[in-house]
Amino acid sequence: MHFHAHIDAFLNMLLAERNATANTRAAYARDLGDAAMFLARKKVDLSQASEEDIRAYILSMGKNAPRTQARRLSALRQFFRFLCSEKIRDADPTRGIDAPKLGRALPKYLSEAEVASLINTVANYPGDDGLRLRALLELVYAAGLRVSELVGLPLSGVQFDRAIVIVKGKGGKERAVPLGEPAIVALAAWLPARKAMLGERKSPYLFPSAKRFDAALTRQRFFQLLKQLALAADIDPKRLSPHVLRHAFATHLIEHGADLRSVQSMLGHADIATTQIYTHVAGDRLARTVAEHHPLAVKRVPS
């Protein structure tokens, strides 16, 4: 979605200087395109917008969630900073605009028992499709991968001799995440099925598309498979997504005593502040456990 040369130039900069993924560039294109269309109806070019124009656009998003408003304002900030750095305009019209206040949204995740239920359920799935879904589930839970990292993982990404997976995350940064035995076993079981599915054809992906061998399994298909698995495991499908499993990975590690820096490294977070939210999740749960089960916290009946 491109509206004029300045947006195109900004998107090209994201690719050249920040090594942004196609998904990241598409997200910026959508957000800037939305602003550009709103201003075009007022016969204002986005690159020439004033602070008043930007405020009017922000005001028009009144029905959108605060996070959507904040994300679009952030995209506009970066766009105008780019224009200023390129001497296309002198001032950034977003400088005086405050982002909407956001409440702290704790990540949604599943309990260990619920994850175990998913794994036990998929273990009974028949055939090659069952082996693939079990490998996907074990891998995303064992390594906390983003869904794009998971489906795009190359065959060479899993190093069985070292029991690690090499992941290329945001900005093209690579990280190595250790894998437990259940994930290694599930992946080893999937490889013969993968070979049989491909036949004489080749694919660079660990999880190739069943329809197009030169492409990876799509994120949308993995979402669908998870929803079906949730139903089979008697879990509300609305509560399950690839990102929920990533949150479960991090939360369960923290609950079992993993240090924050290690979890940050495995998740591929650039800023540890992003990882710290999991301490709140684990802390809230532990506080409830103490309140409900510790003998000193139980209200005693007077004798």
For the question of residue 95 being annotated catalytic, the response is no
C-beta pairs of 214-217 under 8 Å, 24+ apart in sequence: 216/151, 216/152, 217/136, 217/151
For the question of residue 168 being annotated catalytic, the response is no
CA distance 158 to 51: 50
Q: One of 55, 168, 170, 221 is an active-site residue; which one?
A: 170
For the question of residue 246 being annotated catalytic, the response is yes
What percent of the residues of the chain are helix, what percent strand, and what percent coil, each to the nearest 5?
60, 5, 35
Q: One of 6, 72, 146, 194 is an active-site residue; which one?
A: 146
Strand-strand pairing, 174-178 and 158-159: unpaired
For the question of residue 195 being annotated catalytic, the response is no
HSE-CB of 39 using CA atoms within 13 angstroms: 24
Check: CB of residue 118 under 8 Å from CB of residue 235. Answer: yes
Exposed, middle or buried: residue 77 (CB in 10 Å: 0-12, 13-18, 19+)?
middle
Q: One of 25, 269, 280, 285 is an active-site residue; which one?
A: 269
CA distances from 9 to 4, 109, 134, 255, 257 (A): 9, 39, 43, 45, 46
Q: One of 72, 134, 246, 252 is an active-site residue; which one?
A: 246
Q: One of 55, 243, 280, 285 is an active-site residue; which one?
A: 243
Check: CB of residue 83 under 8 Å from CB of residue 93. Answer: no
DSSP structure class, residue 154? B
**Catalytic positions, please?**
146, 170, 243, 246, 269, 278
